[in-house]
Amino acid sequence: MLDDKSREISADPNLAVMSTLMTDGSIQTHPVWRDADGENILIDIKIHLPKFENIKCDATITALLQETGNH
């Protein structure tokens, strides 16, 4: 469940920065399109990209949403 501030920030149409773990333990970081449904942050992940395989192997991720000040 998102808190009020996270819900507000996630309503902005901006990219997020997401990090996943590669199979060798290294970190892969990349910008991703995201949205929110009011309770969860939704991240667009194409199944043919390495980040999808990374998440299948280890669901540990970090996502950064940045407040733009456009509120």
pLDDT at position 34: 86
Q: How far is CA 25 from CA 22, 45, 47, 59, in A?
A: 5, 20, 20, 13
Q: What is the pTM of this model?
A: 0.76
Residue 48, burial from CB neighbour count under 10 angstroms (0-12, 13-18, 19+):
exposed
pLDDT along the chain (71 residues), means of 10: 81 85 94 85 89 93 78 51
- For domain 4-64, give the CATH superfamily: Electron Transport, Fmn-binding Protein; Chain A (2.30.110.10)
> For the chain, which residues make up each domain, given as ranges?
4-64
Tokens of 63: 């996502």
